[in-house]
Amino acid sequence: MQLNYINSLEQSKTFVFEVSFIGRMDMYSDVDTVAKYLDAHEGWFCRCAQPMKVEPLGDNGYVLTVGQYGAFGYEVEPKIGVVLNSPVGNIYQMQTIPIPEYDSTGYEVNYQASMELTEMTVDRDDTFKSGLFPKKITLPSRITEVRWSLNLGVEVEFPQFMAKISPFLIQSTGDRLLGQIVRQISPRLTYKVQQDFHNRHNLSMPPKGSRQLDKVNKSQPCAI
C-alpha cells in the first residue's frame, strides 16, 4: 500500500495542499447589531480585506487576488472567487465560486468556511485582563462571540522540472506554506473587521485576547 502511494506521487505533477483552522473573535454588541453589520458585507469586506485586491462579483461574490507565493523557485499569484451566502439563523457559509472568463491554469483553490454568531450575557462587574501589564477593561452587558471554521485546499500542477524534487518534500512544504498564508491573512482580517465594527458603532475595541486562531490537525474534525 505504501509503495503504491509513493509510486503515484512520483508519477504525478499535481499536488493537493490542505489546511484547516478554527477561530473566534468577540464583538462588544448584541447579536442583531453584529448580524446587521455582517450582512452589509459590500462595505466591510472591501475595506477590511486590504491589502488583498478585491473586486465585486455578482450580488454576493468577490474576486480576491491573494498575493504572490511560492517555493522551490516556482511562484503563483492566486486569484479566487468567493461568495458570502445569506445567513441561515446566525450561521454564515462562504465558499469559492468560478470567476467568469478567468483561466486559472496551474492551480485550483477550494475554500469552504462557516461562521456562527452567539450572544452572551456578561456581568458588567466582570473585567478582562490583557497584556504584560494587566489593564482592567469593563465589559459590556452583551457580547457576541463569532466562531468560524475554514478548510482550504489548493491543487497545483507543477512544471516538469519539479519532478526532480522529492514529492514528500513538495507536499510538506506546500502544506506548511498554505498554513503560513492563513496565519498571515486571517489575524489581520479579524483585527480589521473588529476595528471597523467597533469604530463605526462608537464602541471600545476588544483586547488582543478576544481574537483566536488555531490550526486543526488532519486527524481532528474541523467544526464550530
Alpha-helix runs per DSSP H in the chain: 2-11, 31-39, 41-48, 167-200
* Position 20 in a domain: yes
Q: What angle do CA 148, 152, 153 make, to 5 degrees?
A: 160
Per-residue model confidence as pLDDT tens digits over 138-179: 678 889 999 999 999 988 877 776 667 788 888 888 888 888
* Position 84 in a domain: yes
**Count of domains in the chain?**
1
* Position 4 in a domain: no
pTM: 0.80
- Domain housing 154: 16-215
Instruction: Give the pairing type, strands 14-27 and 53-57.
Output: unpaired
CATH number at residue 165: 3.30.530.20
* Position 139 in a domain: yes
Tell me the pLDDT of the chain (224 aa) as tens digits: 333 333 444 444 788 889 999 999 999 999 999 999 999 998 999 899 877 888 999 889 999 887 666 555 656 677 889 999 999 989 999 999 999 888 776 778 899 999 999 998 876 555 555 555 555 666 788 899 999 999 999 888 777 766 677 888 888 888 888 888 889 889 999 999 999 999 999 998 998 889 999 999 865 434 33
- Residue 58 near residue 83 (C-beta atoms within 8 A): yes
- Residue 80 near residue 109 (C-beta atoms within 8 A): yes
